[in-house]
Amino acid sequence: MSIKDRILYEDNHLIVINKRPGELVQGDETGDITLADMVKEYLKVTYSKPGNVYLGIPHRLDRPTSGIVVYAKTEKALIRLNDAFRGSDVKKTYWAVVDNCPRESEGTLVHYIVRDPRNNTSRAYPKEVKGSKIAKLSYRVLGKSDRYFLLEIDLHTGRHHQIRAQLAAIGCHIKGDLKYGFARSNPDGGIHLHARRIRFIHPVRKEPLDIVAAPPKDPVWDYFAKNI
């Protein structure tokens, strides 16, 4: 599927893409081609832009995660989006497929997260510890299959690996997420965590945007898409 087929929203200031598992939002030490590289090439070809194409990155998704990524096509939009993402003006909803069902069908999780840069992980503690930051999310169980459960998650804070660490702390491991306790990897190296929906005010036009992304095509996601 080309970049054009994965565009969820585009105007003169923004372009919003449905990211695949395994894609990099921006460059890292691997040197692999990034989603940003592909979007720049799309803009260059589609609009016959000479030279370097501007593309700002106001937020990120972990490489194994799929779903909504917002890019800024202008510096004005990037500056305003940076402010929105740093604050509480952007509402993010995720879907996660997990191996165990939480004790309650819906609730709010509050933990204190400590990041370990040595192995690029975070750990969620029930009480405040040295160097920790508060992490909060709300969840509800949307569906179940014979092996898995689908959770819908609203983020209230934006910590490193927050959803992965907080769910692991209550014994709910995201399918494919070896780093946080799931038993085996997914064939594509991704995990079943999907940035499903994002709501924010357009940084230039000041209109509300509400964008939804379909999950990747695979048997587990397909099952839940048909049965919720």
Enumerate the active-site residues: 62
Quick count: other Cβ atoms within 10 Å of Cβ 73?
Answer: 20
Strand partners, 125: 112
> What is the identity of the amino acid at 43?
L
- Of 85, 30, 99, the closest CA to residue 195 belongs to 85
Closest CA to 193 of 81, 93, 80: 93
d(C-alpha 53, C-alpha 137), whole Å = 36
**Residue 196 to residue 67: CA distance in whole angstroms:** 6
- Do residues 71 and 128 lie in contact, with contact meaning Cβ atoms separated by under 8 Å? no
Going by C-beta distance under 8 Å and a sequence separation of 6 or more, which residues neighbour residue 211?
Answer: 8, 9, 16, 68, 197, 198, 199
Residues in the chain: 228
Q: Is 150 helix (H, G, I), strand (E, B) or coil?
A: strand
